[in-house]
Amino acid sequence: MEDPCKARQVLGIVGDKWAMLVVRMLKDGPRRFTELKRSVEGISQRMLTVTLRDLERDGIVTRTVLAVMPPHVSYELTPMGRTLREATAPLLEWSIEHLPHIDAARAAYDNR
Amino acid sequence: MEDPCKARQVLGIVGDKWAMLVVRMLKDGPRRFTELKRSVEGISQRMLTVTLRDLERDGIVTRTVLAVMPPHVSYELTPMGRTLREATAPLLEWSIEHLPHIDAARAAYDNR
DNA sequence: CGGTATCCTCAGTGATACTG
DNA sequence: CAGTATCACTGAGGATACCG
């Protein structure tokens, strides 16, 4: 809470353009690559792969490959991934409450 | 909490490379431009200006100019800014608890 | 002191094509 | 299906210089 370096590191994870949107889609259980691709609107195949690799590397998701044809790969939040998701919940609640105010503030600011 | 679009918008604010670090430095009261420049390590003058403008536009900080020479400009969190800061607190706590695990997970992943 | 104005670079991202 | 490989581009951000 006191160390700005930690703040910087969390930003490296949650500040990522796609990471939290992917984590979000995994909150109700494992999902396959293509499911994620469909549900995270606007993400490219490449960025989904990159994002999932990073999350896997950080111990936030697991990657499970079923050696069948065609391939079947599913991703799931680790216990740590679930705690991360919970830690971001207040922020989502905040956004629901305040985003309209922000839009209003912006409009007011731009009218000058 | 359900709308992915909102998640995207919050990311636009908290996901910014510098915004949360600046907000953090304002948590104990108003700070002057140069104070912020010194305390947010590594930020350029340009990015501090840009970041503060955005935060002001979004209604998260106020900008107060004292028309003296030399100029004196101080920034302060708005009430909404303070609620934002509170909403990010769980994330900071999470980081203190889990960042070591993440480092370990990365090291393990890279050793392959 | 607290900015703006410019220029420039490069990391992040998308598009596309190919593959086990 | 779930990637990898390449290329090309854009814009976030640094460096520098100047200003009220």
Q: What is the 3-state secondary structure (H, E, C) of B38-82?
A: HHCCCCCHHHHHHHHHHHHHCCCEEEEEECCCCCEEEEEECHHHH
The C-alpha of B42 sits at a distance from chain A's nearest C-alpha, in angstroms, of 11
**Reported confidence tier of residue A112, pLDDT bands at 50, 70, 90:** confident
The yes-or-no verdict on residue B5 having pLDDT over 80 is no
B44 Cβ contacts chain D strand, under 7 Å: yes
Q: How far apart are CA B108 and CA B112, in angstroms?
A: 8
Across A22-31, b (16+ Cβ under 10 Å) vs e yields bbbbbeeeeb
Neighbours of A108 (CB within 10 A): 11
Residue A43, pLDDT score: 97
Q: How far apart are CA B51 and CA B28, in angstroms?
A: 19
Residue A87, pLDDT score: 96
* Residue of B3, B5, B6, B11 best to disrupt the A interface, most CBs of A under 10 A: B11
Residue B66, pLDDT score: 94
Domain residue spans in chain A? 4-110
B6-65 residue pLDDT tens: 888 999 999 999 999 999 999 999 999 999 999 999 999 999 999 999 999 999 999 999
Residue A69, pLDDT score: 83
A95 vs B6: CB contact, 8 Å cut-off? yes
Residue B112, pLDDT score: 81
Chain A residues closer than 8 Å to B89 by CB: 1, 90
The yes-or-no verdict on residue A4 having pLDDT over 80 is no
CATH label, B4-110, candidates 1.10.10.10, 1.20.1250.20, 3.20.20.70, 2.40.40.20: 1.10.10.10
**Reported confidence tier of residue B3, pLDDT bands at 50, 70, 90:** low
pTM for the structure as a whole = 0.93
Q: List Cβ<8 Å contacts ≥24 apart for B97-101.
A: B97/A83, B98/A80, B98/A83, B98/A84, B99/A6, B99/A9, B99/A10, B101/A59, B101/A80
Give the single-character DSSP code of A57.
Answer: H
A42-92 residue pLDDT tens: 999 999 999 999 999 999 999 999 988 889 999 999 999 999 999 999 999
A20-49 residue pLDDT tens: 999 999 999 999 999 999 999 999 999 999
Residue A78, pLDDT score: 98
Residue B7, pLDDT score: 87
The alpha carbon of residue B63 and the mean position of all alpha carbons in its chain are separated, in whole angstroms, by 16
The yes-or-no verdict on residue A12 having pLDDT over 60 is yes
Residue A67, pLDDT score: 86
The yes-or-no verdict on residue A1 having pLDDT over 60 is no
